Amino acid sequence: MKKPALTPLAATLPASVPFVGPEAQERQRGAAFRARLGANESAFGPSPKAITAMQNVLPDAWMYGDPESHDLRAALARHHGILPENIMVGEGIDALLGLVVRLHVGPDDAAVTSAGAYPTFNYHVAGFGGALHSVPYKDDHEDPDALIAKARETQAKLIYIANPDNPMGTWHDAATMTRLIAAVPDTCLLILDEAYIELAPEGTAPAMDTARRNVIRMRTFSKAQGMAGARVGYAIGAADLIDAFNKVRNHFGMSRISQAGALAALQDQDWLAHVRAEVAKSRASLAGIARQNGLTSLPSATNFVTIDCGADGAFARAVLASLIAQGIFVRMPFVAPQDRCIRVSCGTADQTAAFGAALPHALQTAHEKLR
Amino acid sequence: MKKPALTPLAATLPASVPFVGPEAQERQRGAAFRARLGANESAFGPSPKAITAMQNVLPDAWMYGDPESHDLRAALARHHGILPENIMVGEGIDALLGLVVRLHVGPDDAAVTSAGAYPTFNYHVAGFGGALHSVPYKDDHEDPDALIAKARETQAKLIYIANPDNPMGTWHDAATMTRLIAAVPDTCLLILDEAYIELAPEGTAPAMDTARRNVIRMRTFSKAQGMAGARVGYAIGAADLIDAFNKVRNHFGMSRISQAGALAALQDQDWLAHVRAEVAKSRASLAGIARQNGLTSLPSATNFVTIDCGADGAFARAVLASLIAQGIFVRMPFVAPQDRCIRVSCGTADQTAAFGAALPHALQTAHEKLR
């Protein structure tokens, strides 16, 4: 029997996963991780008010969530001093990235990113048949000038940049981002992924300017707000660009429970301040652990710390493998020379201590293996 | 300033919504609905065990859900006597429909459905540039023979059928569906949407046969399980077809809370039996209300009853408008001659009574308007 054929594009796509989840690794290991520090989740948890709000709507889970996410968008608009029509809520930044790529990138259209930046963007560009071009990091930072030059050279439809950056944790200030936005070619859209922005120093986010048609900003409740498991992200942009999502999005895609939780989380800015303080403490602990092991760590504007293992990718991969074997879930950059590092999420004191206890053995194992 | 251009396909798509949500209608009316009977949600609510399970994981919402939905897929596989690799979990049938269309339908590829069937399939076919062909209903049933004939004529990549059907509530027995599946051309995939199957009589669902490559079945926790707001659906099919979803899906798309709730709901078959009994009672009430008003209702294998208003589409639309104005949220079929009907979801006794109290005035209003 002949099979129904996939589209020519779908047939060429690998059935691969950009990230293997920690649960899959746990099933493979046959044991749970002792510390979950690999996915930049917020170990400090969601706001207790968000938990209560979600709990209160659980009996209402029989009703579809409002497909317009009206109340959440209205609250976000007030929070940012913009209008609801400048905001699209979606099932995490991953889903919103997929939609913005689908809206702009057809077969062979160019898109530009940094080699080793967030791979889900690359996944979506490939998924819609686009041609991905990349520029190297510069001193462990994404390089705005190189991104613009490559976009001009390739007549790119999209540029992707994360500020602060994942997986390095580095960042540019608002003035640099404002210059980048101004330099975006007229026929190109800049995706500014600000997943970690609430954890960055004041003066990292450029001013909101929803009149500007060449930038779309992505935010999430998954990081500082501690709600990765609830899947709530949002995009900020010009009204006609935001409205274009209505051409392709799943209208009833948002969980009613998650909408209620995000609304309450947004209103609990005290919890956000608490998380910021905990993250700062944890960043300092992780930097200290690196130092005690003779390693350096990169400054971070995120809820993770990238630790330079002091050698090459093979060495860092060996360190990572030993940490995993010891029950410490961490990840690392994919591309050289950033892959000399491992990336450790901020955790509770216990989790950070577990990492600190495991690191010396991991380094020793890697040294022995690669001697 | 020039704008970044949408793809030629995206530029042609309308920013329209197949369904306007009840919340949007409430905002427009300036008042809440008294009875929410328009979206075939389950007014009987989710299983209390599902609520407890979701409540228990709320503090864990900081963690992404397992991207493989391993535990839920394993439980579903046991439940259906198939293997986990025959199951893909996604953010409701809507999202899964979008993915299966994306995998199979490129520009101008044909897809076949029934005129007036579930419009989200049509939305996705248009969204990926496909050419939609439709066949009429036959005696208020989707027409398997006509679907097959049209698929042969157009060399369709996909056929969509819902059994039981939405919006009519009618159904075919398993033998008819088995014959339909056997008749699907080798190069075509049948999407069998079984969103309402748990509410249908025994003998409606054909046997599971995951060796067969030409059918993919869609199930959901939104209807009988009362979890529309949690967004959990799943597809059942041959392992290589199911694996193809990994080429294009959002890997971290599933809410951790919803996964836990669905798992508990699946294990609470007593609640499902309770809902089935409540739905049967409510169907009888709604049929009685129709009768008392001199109308006929269609037999239903779903959690809604389609009531024939006894005249044309204009009359039924006037009835609907009056019901909405009276605070009763209901919907109706889009296409003639099915649009002579309104579609009323099964509700609690109070909600059904509110509908029953509003219907005579709605009929009178429609008669006066169209006199």
Which residue is it, tokens 């940490």?
Answer: A323
In a domain, A6, yes or no: no
In a domain, A11, yes or no: no
Q: How many domains does chain B have?
A: 2
What element of type H or E holds A328? Answer: strand A328-329
Chain A (66-85) residues lying within 8 Å, Cβ to Cβ, of chain B? 66-68, 70
CA angle A29, B91, B34 (to 5 degrees): 140
Verify that A216 and A322 share a domain, yes or no: no
| Nearest chain B residue to A94, by CA | B250
pLDDT digits (tens, 9 = 90+) for B294-334: 999 999 999 999 999 999 999 999 999 999 999 999 999 99
Chain B (99-138) residues lying within 8 Å, Cβ to Cβ, of chain A? 102-106, 109, 127
Residue B261: CATH number of its domain: 3.40.640.10
In a domain, B5, yes or no: no
| Nearest chain B residue to A15, by CA | B247
Check CB contact of B63 with chain A, cutoff 8 Å. Answer: yes
Q: How far is B226 from chain A (nearest CA, A)?
A: 4
Q: Burial code of B276-313, b = ≥16 C-beta within 10 A, e = fewer? A: bebbeebbebbbebbeeeebebbebbbbbbbbbbbeeb
| Nearest chain A residue to B27, by CA | A70
Kindly tell me the burial class for residue A119, based on how many C-beta atoms sit within 10 Å of its own C-beta (0-12, 13-18, 19 or more): middle
Quick one: pLDDT at residue B101? 98
In angstroms, what CA-CA distances link A74 with A41, A63, A69, A70, B170?
Answer: 26, 21, 9, 6, 40
Check CB contact of B139 with chain A, cutoff 8 Å. Answer: no
Verify that B207 and B80 share a domain, yes or no: yes
pLDDT digits (tens, 9 = 90+) for B345-365: 999 999 999 999 999 999 999
Which residue is it, tokens 């209807």?
Answer: B223
Which residue is it, tokens 């710390």?
Answer: A305
Blockwise average pLDDT, block size 10, chain A, 371 residues: 88 85 94 97 98 98 97 98 98 98 97 97 97 98 98 98 98 98 97 98 97 97 98 98 96 95 98 98 98 98 98 98 98 97 98 98 96 76
Quick one: pLDDT at residue B1? 59
In a domain, B13, yes or no: no
CB contact under 8 A, A91 and B44: no
What element of type H or E holds B322? Answer: helix B313-325
Check CB contact of B209 with chain A, cutoff 8 Å. Answer: no
Verify that B214 and B307 share a domain, yes or no: no
Verify that B365 and B329 share a domain, yes or no: yes
Q: How many residues are given for chain B?
A: 371
| Nearest chain A residue to B256, by CA | A229
In angstroms, what CA-CA distances link A103 with A11, A128, A247, B207?
Answer: 21, 10, 9, 40
Q: How far apart are CA A317 and CA A310, in angstroms?
A: 12
Q: Which of B4, B231, B258 sits opposite A187 (nearest CB)?
A: B4
Domain edge (last residue) among A267, A285, A318: A267
CB contact under 8 A, A106 and B62: no
Verify that A117 and A41 share a domain, yes or no: no
Kindly tell me the burial class for residue B167, based on how many C-beta atoms sit within 10 Å of its own C-beta (0-12, 13-18, 19 or more): buried
Give the residue from B72, B100, B249, B250 with the most A CB atoms within 10 Å of its CB, the best one to mutate.
Answer: B250
Under DSSP, the state recorded for B331 is B
Q: How far apart are CA A11 and CA A5, in angstroms?
A: 8
| Nearest chain A residue to B125, by CA | A248
CA atoms within 13 A on the CB side of B41: 28
Confidence of residue B21 (pLDDT cuts 50, 70, 90): very high
Under DSSP, the state recorded for A141 is B
Quick one: pLDDT at residue A1? 59
Confidence of residue B182 (pLDDT cuts 50, 70, 90): very high
In a domain, A15, yes or no: no
Chain B (331-370) residues lying within 8 Å, Cβ to Cβ, of chain A? none
Verify that B165 and B85 share a domain, yes or no: yes
Q: Which of A3, A59, A95 sits opposite B45 (nearest CB)?
A: A59
Q: Which two tokens stand for residue A320?
A: 């990572």
Q: Which amino acid is at B80?
A: H
Determine the structural domain holding residue A300 and report its residue range: 20-45+270-369
In a domain, A245, yes or no: yes
- Which residues from B are below 8 Å from A57, CB to CB? 229
Q: Which two tokens stand for residue B49?
A: 């065990």
- Pair type for strands B328-329 and B158-162: unpaired
Domain edge (last residue) among A214, A238, A267: A267
Using only C-alpha atoms, chain A has a radius of gyration, in whole angstroms, of: 21
Secondary structure (DSSP) of B262-321: HHHHHH-HHHHHHHHHHHHHHHHHHHHHHHHTT-EE---SSSEEEEE-SS-HHHHHHHHH
Residue A35: CATH number of its domain: 3.90.1150.10
Check CB contact of A261 with chain B, cutoff 8 Å. Answer: yes
Among residues A243, A263, A288, the alpha carbon closest in space to that of A88 is found at A243
What element of type H or E holds A219? Answer: strand A215-220
Check CB contact of B13 with chain A, cutoff 8 Å. Answer: yes
Q: Which two tokens stand for residue A57?
A: 């709507």
C-alpha torsion sign, points A206, A209, A210, A212: negative
| Mean pLDDT along residues B163-178 | 98
In terms of pLDDT, which residue wins out, B236 or A3? Answer: B236
- Which residues from B are below 8 Å from A70, CB to CB? 23-24, 27
In a domain, B145, yes or no: yes
Verify that B170 and B259 share a domain, yes or no: yes
Verify that B62 and B109 share a domain, yes or no: yes
Quick one: pLDDT at residue A17? 72
Chain A (23-52) residues lying within 8 Å, Cβ to Cβ, of chain B? 23-24, 27, 36, 39, 41-46, 50-51
Verify that A229 and A303 share a domain, yes or no: no
Verify that B222 and B245 share a domain, yes or no: yes
Kindly tell me the burial class for residue A190, based on how many C-beta atoms sit within 10 Å of its own C-beta (0-12, 13-18, 19 or more): buried
Verify that A203 and A64 share a domain, yes or no: yes
Domain edge (last residue) among A250, A267, A284: A267
Among residues B276, B229, B236, the alpha carbon closest in space to that of B51 is found at B229
Q: Which amino acid is at B97?
A: L
In terms of pTM, does the model score above 0.80? yes
Contact B226, B47 (CB under 8 A): yes
Among residues B202, B208, B143, B135, the alpha carbon closest in space to that of B170 is found at B143
Contact B253, B264 (CB under 8 A): no
Chain B (218-237) residues lying within 8 Å, Cβ to Cβ, of chain A? 222, 226-231
Q: Which of A46, A188, A254 sits opposite B4 (nearest CB)?
A: A188
In a domain, A4, yes or no: no
CA angle B322, B324, B325 (to 5 degrees): 60
- Which residues from B are below 8 Å from A94, CB to CB? 250-253
Q: Any alpha helices (H) in chain A, and if so which ranges?
A: 8-12, 22-29, 48-57, 70-80, 92-104, 119-127, 144-154, 174-183, 239-244, 256-267, 269-292, 313-325, 349-369
Verify that B223 and B278 share a domain, yes or no: no
Under DSSP, the state recorded for B86 is G
CA angle A316, A321, A324 (to 5 degrees): 125
In this structure, what are the phi and psi dihedrals at residue A87, rounded to the nearest 5 degrees? -130, 130
Q: Which of B13, B127, B256 sits opposite A229 (nearest CB)?
A: B256
Quick one: pLDDT at residue A283? 98
